[in-house]
Amino acid sequence: MDKLIGREAEIQILNDALASPNAELIAVYGRRRVGKTWLIRTIYEKRLFFEFTGLKDATLAGQLENFSLTLSSTFRLPFAIPKPPNWLHAFRLLIQMMEAQPSTQKRVVFLDEFPWMDTPKSGFLAAFDHFWNSWASKQANLVVVICGSAAAWMIQNIVKNRGGLHNRITQRIRLLPFNLYETDKFLRNQRVRLDHYQVLQLFMVTGGVPQYLKDIKPGESVAQAVDRLCFTKDGSLRDEFDNLYTALFENADKHVAVVRALASKPGGMTRKEIMVACRLSSGGSLTKMLDELLESGFVATYIPFGKNVKEAIFKLSDEYSIFYLKFIENSKSPGEGTWVQKSASVSWRSWSALAFEHICLKHVPQIKKALGISGIYTEQSIWRVANKDAERGVQIDLLIDRQDNCINIIEVKFLNAEFTIDKKYAEELEHKRRVFAKKTDTKKTIFLTMLTTFGVKKNNYYLGLVQNQVVMGILFERV
């Protein structure tokens, strides 16, 4: 069984740090259950000199006691190190241990759940700042990795630090869930054999979060797995939503309010629309909150074609959150068979169509590869015009604006059979193409592209309108 799936870019960063002639300070952050600790322990297994994990909701005294016990255990001392009086002394003890065991090889100090160590009035961050700037940064054979699931804390206090740690981070890793290629490979590594259509449906629920995928059993269908994980009283994903945001953000109620507002508007919202819907004031606090949701991978932002960054559209991009709010939260009849019943409903069809669109937005490199335009500079965006009396509204959920003077308008369709373009849908496609060309006044060639699960039947309507088509299998490609 492979120890690691995917994560090629992150593995390269961690390995490069070992080869660096300088001290390295690496910050790793991301949502819970995404595999941060597993990644670091696996890559640095043979180089870990000291690993310490903060205690959730512990006092300063409890954190320091834990630190001294970990030092005694790690270095197999015949006596227990007395609890240090503060973090300055704690880091001095670590320095003494390292200086007592010199090495020419690169060594790794791994501080996990870093934000939990920063208890109120503890002076932890100032002490770590002193540890790094006065000693650790001068040790050419040292890599210090700080890691935390409290993404908001990591972003504000480490990544955007304006004090002694400003610009001291040599590398940062924002660990996100798996894409479809990695999800499929991970499942196979777990002896779970599902076809692409089933993996796609599973991704719509789990969003490629490794810890969620670990709970899938060999021989289970997706319907059985979703029933067990989401709709039974002990299902691991039944109450995950309540824990997810509180673990990541302080005052998470406001973050959850934004998530709920975006979930109610699948087409996305502007900053102003979010502000109004959530009754928030415009200013730094809203900017900070949106930045935290973006950095943590829950929200994505798209600039409509022909617009600027101030007119960006925010969309909820976390599949599990969307699924929870749509189906789990208000489920009145949980238990065996719930998902099979729900998956025959109209709400399932509308949700699956939108979920497939969201997934496609996350796999644009794969789409470009399938279209043969990987080497061409492109910008992806969305586009929409509201309904007016004289003109039907139009929404394009993905378009690829190419430097070679072409634009691909991507039409996405999710269903369990080959898709057929009939007269009514052909008229809708032509209307969409015509309105887009007129409203944007683009002089570029417009290619209408179909992206479907099982392909499009090549009837006369298809031949008269569609220039390209790709199927779901291309989303599973490695790029």
Q: Average of pLDDT values for 146-155?
A: 87
Q: Is the pLDDT of residue 329 over 50?
A: yes
Task: Tell me the two tokens of residue 86.
Answer: 């503060």
Strand ranges (E), 124-279: 142-148, 171-174
Nearest CA-CA partner of 149 in 24, 249, 62 = 249
Whether residues 42 and 133 fall in one domain:
yes
Q: Is residue 187 part of a domain?
A: yes
CATH number for the domain that contains residue 463: 3.40.1350.10
Q: How far apart are CA 423 and CA 426, in angstroms?
A: 5
Q: Is residue 1 part of a domain?
A: no
Q: Is the pLDDT of residue 122 over 70?
A: yes
For 135-235, where are the alpha helices, taking DSSP H only?
151-154, 180-189, 196-206, 210-213, 222-230
Whether residues 139 and 210 fall in one domain:
no
Whether residues 26 and 114 fall in one domain:
yes
Whether residues 284 and 308 fall in one domain:
yes
Mean pLDDT value across the chain: 92
Return the pLDDT at 270. 94
Whether residues 158 and 98 fall in one domain:
yes
Q: Average of pLDDT values for 441-456?
A: 96
Whether residues 395 and 444 fall in one domain:
yes
Ramachandran assignment for 82, one of left (phi > 0), alpha (psi -120 to 50 degrees), beta (any other): beta
| Stronger pLDDT, 104 or 173, i.e. the higher one | 173
Which residues are CB-contacts of 372 (< 8 A; sequence separation ≥ 6)? none
3-state DSSP call for residue 16?
helix
Q: Are 78 and 19 in contact (CB under 8 A)?
A: no
Whether residues 115 and 30 fall in one domain:
yes
Strand bridging mode 445-452 / 48-53: unpaired
| Stronger pLDDT, 437 or 389, i.e. the higher one | 437
Task: Tell me the two tokens of residue 436.
Answer: 């887009």
| Stronger pLDDT, 317 or 288, i.e. the higher one | 317
DSSP 8-state secondary structure symbol assigned to residue 85: S
Q: Are 396 and 403 in contact (CB under 8 A)?
A: no
> pLDDT above 70 covers what percent of the chain?
98
Q: How confident is the model at residue 390 (pLDDT cuts 50, 70, 90)?
A: low
| Stronger pLDDT, 387 or 375, i.e. the higher one | 375
Return the pLDDT at 341. 82
Q: What is the pLDDT of residues 214-269, one digit of tens each?
A: 999 999 999 999 999 999 888 999 999 988 998 888 889 999 999 999 999 998 99
- Provide the whole-model pTM: 0.92
What is the residue type of 415? L
Q: How confident is the model at residue 401 (pLDDT cuts 50, 70, 90)?
A: very high
CA atoms within 13 A on the CB side of 368: 21
* Helices then strands, each counted (H, E), the chain: 21, 12
Whether residues 46 and 166 fall in one domain:
yes
Q: Average of pLDDT values for 413-442?
A: 95
Whether residues 222 and 302 fall in one domain:
no
- End position of a domain, from candidates 139, 155, 174: 174
CATH number for the domain that contains residue 65: 3.40.50.300
Q: Are 97 and 68 in contact (CB under 8 A)?
A: no
Q: Is the pLDDT of residue 161 over 90?
A: no
Q: Are 392 and 431 in contact (CB under 8 A)?
A: yes
Give residue 392's domain range: 364-476
- End position of a domain, from candidates 123, 158, 174: 174
Q: How far apart are CA 87 and CA 92, in angstroms?
A: 8
Most confident of 225-234, 343-352, 455-464: 455-464
Strand bridging mode 378-385 / 313-316: unpaired
Ramachandran assignment for 49, one of left (phi > 0), alpha (psi -120 to 50 degrees), beta (any other): alpha
Whether residues 306 and 393 fall in one domain:
no
CA 401 to chain centre: 24
Q: Is residue 3 part of a domain?
A: no
Q: What is the pLDDT of residues 30-65, one digit of tens each?
A: 988 999 999 999 999 999 999 999 999 999 999 999
Q: Average of pLDDT values for 277-284?
A: 84
Whether residues 281 and 387 fall in one domain:
no
Q: Is residue 300 part of a domain?
A: yes
- End position of a domain, from candidates 121, 146, 174: 174
Return the pLDDT at 1. 38
Structural domain total, the chain:
4
Length of the chain: 479
Q: Is residue 2 part of a domain?
A: no
Q: What are phi and psi of 412, to 5 degrees?
A: -110, 130
Q: Is residue 64 part of a domain?
A: yes
Q: Average of pLDDT values for 198-227?
A: 95
Say which residue the tokens 């995917």 belong to: 6
Task: Tell me the two tokens of residue 241.
Answer: 């939503």
CATH number for the domain that contains residue 304: 1.10.10.10
3-state DSSP call for residue 448?
strand
Q: Is the pLDDT of residue 287 over 70?
A: yes
Q: Is residue 417 part of a domain?
A: yes
Lowest mean pLDDT among 12-26, 42-56, 158-172, 417-431: 158-172
Q: What are phi and psi of 147, to 5 degrees?
A: -140, 145
Whether residues 234 and 320 fall in one domain:
no
